[in-house]
Amino acid sequence: MAMAGQEATNRQIILKHYVKGMVKELDFELRVSKVLLSLHPGTKDVLVKNIYLSPDPYMRSRMQPMEDPYIDPFSPGEVITGYGVSKVLVSNHPEFKPNDYVVGFTGWEEYSVIKEARTLRKIPQIGLPLSYFLGVLGMPGLTAYAGFHKVALPKPGDQLMVSGAAGAVGQLVGQFGKLAGCYVVGAAGSKEKVKLLKERIGYDDAFNYREETDLKAALRRHLPKKIDIYWENVGGKMLEAVLENINKFGRIPACGMISQYNLEKPEGVSNLFRIVAKSVRMQGFLVFDYEDLYEEFTERVSGLLKDEKLVYFEDVSEGLEKAPRALIDLFEGKNIGKKIVKICDPD
Amino acid sequence: MAMAGQEATNRQIILKHYVKGMVKELDFELRVSKVLLSLHPGTKDVLVKNIYLSPDPYMRSRMQPMEDPYIDPFSPGEVITGYGVSKVLVSNHPEFKPNDYVVGFTGWEEYSVIKEARTLRKIPQIGLPLSYFLGVLGMPGLTAYAGFHKVALPKPGDQLMVSGAAGAVGQLVGQFGKLAGCYVVGAAGSKEKVKLLKERIGYDDAFNYREETDLKAALRRHLPKKIDIYWENVGGKMLEAVLENINKFGRIPACGMISQYNLEKPEGVSNLFRIVAKSVRMQGFLVFDYEDLYEEFTERVSGLLKDEKLVYFEDVSEGLEKAPRALIDLFEGKNIGKKIVKICDPD
């Protein structure tokens, strides 16, 4: 392993150009560069070795220029950035020291300098896998936790429908739903995912949306009491079908719309009047809006994991060079559980 | 005038058939029938003479069969019903007596029997015109009051954009906005309405959406600080343009979508991801959800009217036979202020 102070090769995943339509492997390139394993004095920077990377759907929106974006676009020719779990090699920051494991925004590369340790958090040693801090105990976990408890406002007996149910966020929302006393139905894109949802994750029911020609009828069949809460991960035709099956005072926490991210022209939703007719609250949110819940969330969710009241599934790709494919898998629905890219062993 | 106990002719507006696409005068017919000006004993019915009728946009949805409707459709061949102000002729109900003025659901006809006095309220004598109880002090008034205060949750300094701004509800929302310390911009469909909004109703700014080829650019021009609250009366392209101009944590109280009611295929809204990206809350509501606010609303709004802190504009069509045209005017944007049909003098 490379030692602090030496020069090392640094393999990096670069965004070649802005992306139009479906993202593909040719939109990325692997660059091999050199990195000095030391830091300039006088900064508060931290040099880390990256261990796990987190391909997440929101990253697609960073691959194109956008008016009034909620997060800055990537720069073509530069390394992709995203959440990762890393080990500190050199630290100029008082809060971090060598060999600390950290989670935060890092680069899709072997070694990264994190300017002023921005977004980094130290990972507590609580006997749970490091990669969990990119999922159930990280951004997707807080997304599910905050969105479900603070936006959906569940009541026992609510009929909860989750799209993208077998993904990083959806698997958790369904379980939070069961813990809150809801009847929980998931939509996912393969037989295998449906089986996982029903047999392992504890969904009351689930269906493969790709096998349905009439989503509205599918929802009616699986949710005969209709829908009180729709967890929106996908947008487009599923949202339209849900609006035809929603109960009075229905709630739609809008977490994402993954079916739309790679379309040059997003689909139109034409029955929004149902929002008026059924007094529906559709509420978008970003995980960044709920940073103040982080402590409560970590304590509660790590407790549930230790007590085996929450299960969590990961889908790990091995090797930095697999990262572009891993991200594309999300949009093709190939991941089962949270997609993770493992660059190296944690030691 | 007809006396209680006698038979009278009763002119009635009948829905001829279910309507597809744009509603037109030929979808209605005037029928002349007879009515006995007395009631069967043993009921709690009330016989009224109708004075003012209220054509309202929501009525369009009753003119066609609908799955899971929020209000029952009309029956072809039967008299249209809607809000009206009436005078009691004969009452079997202990709460009403002859010569009381009442407001509630009645028929588009000269005389109506109101079964069990359902939905009727007595109009208090507070020195304000009777017709106001179909507008500023009636259903549209409560819609504006409840939707603005309980759904929009305004803060001083909020940038408030109102569509359908010169209509029954919009004119009030703009004024509630000014009273709450908002900056208020209205969109309406004619030069005359824009002038009224700016010079008489107290909007800070207004524009004629029919003169704009690029609604997104128009909104940017009139709301350089973008939009915190969008009062949704119209739907379709205006909603799409607003979503491109909305601020973080924007709120969209969804009151109606009048631009869509006469379309066989409603327009699709394709940028709903903005709801996620900007943490927007879009919340539909119906006036029926807020009946418990009626007393507070009546007291507050009648006080504002008497103190001349609220203005209110009506657009009156004279004669029952004008009622179909008056309703169609709403969808063509021909009314300025609350549309009212006057059938006869109150005496």
Q: What is the pLDDT of residues A175-210, one digit of tens each?
A: 999 999 999 999 999 999 999 999 999 999 999 999
Please provide the size of chain A in residues: 347
| pLDDT value at residue A68 | 86
Tell me B232's DSSP state: B
B18 and B115 in a single domain? The answer is yes
Contact A63, A23 (CB under 8 A): yes
Per-residue pLDDT of chain B (347 residues; tens, 9 = 90+): 556 678 999 999 999 999 999 999 999 999 999 999 999 899 999 999 999 999 999 999 999 998 888 889 999 999 999 999 999 999 999 999 999 999 999 999 999 999 999 999 999 999 999 999 999 999 999 999 999 999 999 999 999 999 999 999 999 999 999 999 999 999 999 999 999 999 999 999 999 999 999 999 999 999 999 999 999 999 999 999 999 999 999 999 999 999 999 999 999 999 999 999 999 999 999 999 999 999 999 999 999 999 999 999 999 999 999 999 999 999 999 999 999 999 999 98
Cα A238 to Cα A326: distance, rounded to the nearest angstrom = 24
Contact B275 A282 (CB under 8 A): yes
Residue A262 lies in a domain: yes
Same domain as B195, residue B245: yes
In terms of domains, do A165 and A179 share one?
yes
Q: Mean pLDDT over residues A269-294, rounded?
A: 97
CA distance readout (Å), B316 to A336, B165, B337 = 63, 18, 9
Query: What Rg value do the Cα atoms of chain A yield, rounded?
Result: 21
Question: Of A10, A8, A13, A34, whose CA–CA distance to A108 is shortest?
Answer: A13
The reply to whether A171 and A73 lie within a common domain is no
pLDDT(A252) > 70:
yes
Rounded distance between C-alpha atoms, residue A16 and residue A30, angstroms: 10
Specify whether B143 is located in the same domain as B282.
yes
Cα–Cα–Cα angle for A174, A215, A173, rounded to 5 degrees: 10
pLDDT score recorded for residue A195: 98
Closest CA to B241 of B257, B253, B230, B249: B230
Chain A residues in contact with chain B using a Cβ-Cβ cutoff of 8 Å: 61, 67-70, 235, 239, 244, 254-257, 260, 265-286, 289
Is the domain of A116 the same as that of A236? no
Residue B151 lies in a domain: yes
Same domain, A164 and A93: no
Q: How confident is the model at residue A347 (pLDDT cuts 50, 70, 90)?
A: confident
In a domain, B74, yes or no: yes
- How far from B159 is each of B88, B154, B155, B184, B201, CA to CA, in Å? 45, 9, 9, 6, 17
CA-to-CA dists, residue A52 to A97, A103, A106, A200, A325, angstroms:
19, 9, 10, 25, 15
Query: In total, how many domains does chain A have?
Result: 2
Chain B, nearest residue to A276 by Cα? B284
Q: Is the pLDDT confidence value at A255 over 70? A: yes
Q: What's the ipTM?
A: 0.96
Residues B111 and B219 in one domain: no
Residue A265 burial (CB count, 10 A): 8
Structural domain includes residue B68:
yes
Instruction: Please give the pLDDT value at position A67.
Output: 85
What DSSP state is assigned to residue B150? I
Percentage of residues of chain A with pLDDT beyond 70: 99
Residues of B in contact with A284 (CB under 8 A): 274-281
CATH, residue A272:
3.40.50.720
CB atoms within 10 A of CB B308: 7
Distance CA A40, CA B203 (A): 58
Q: Both B22 and B62 in a single domain?
A: yes
Q: Is residue B305 part of a domain?
A: no
pLDDT given at position A2: 56
Give the percent of chain A with pLDDT over 90: 95
CB-CB neighbours of B31 under 10 Å: 15
Residue positions counted in chain B: 347
Q: Provide the pLDDT for residue A4.
A: 65
Comparing CB atoms, the residue among A67, A257, A272 nearest residue B273 is: A257
Interhelix angle A139-146/A294-306, rounded to 10 degrees, is 100
Shortest CA gap B297–chain A (Å)? 20
- How many Å is the Cα radius of gyration of chain B? 21
**Same domain as B169, residue B120:** no
> Which SS3 state, helix, strand or coil, does residue B328 take?
helix
Residue of B270, B278, B285, B291 to mutate, interface with A, max A Cβ within 10 Å:
B270
A259 lies in a domain?
Answer: yes
Q: State the Cα–Cα distance between residues B27 and B18, nearest whole angstrom.
A: 8
Which of B248, B272, B288 is where one domain is finished? B288
Same domain? For B167 and B91 the reply is: no
Residues of B in contact with A277 (CB under 8 A): 61, 69-70, 284, 286
Query: What residue has token string 């799409």?
Result: B240
Local structure of residue A260 (DSSP, 8 states): G
Instruction: Kindly state whether residues B17 and B150 are assigned to the same domain.
Output: no
Predicted pLDDT of residue B4 = 65
CA angle (A162, A144, B247) in 5-degree steps: 100
Q: State the pLDDT at residue B66.
A: 85
| E strand spans, chain A | 7-15, 28-36, 46-53, 81-91, 101-107, 111-114, 121-122, 159-162, 183-188, 205-208, 227-231, 246-254, 281-284, 314-318, 338-342
pLDDT of residue A168: 97
Residue B304 lies in a domain: no
Residue B249 domain-assigned?
A: yes
What CATH number is associated with residue B113? Answer: 3.90.180.10
- Mean pLDDT (whole number) for A287-303: 96
Beta-bridge mates of residue B251: B229, B281
For residue B228, the SS3 value is strand
Partner-chain contact A270 B273, CB within 8 Å:
no
Displacement of CA A290 from its chain's centroid (Å)? 15
Residue B15: domain span: 7-134+314-342
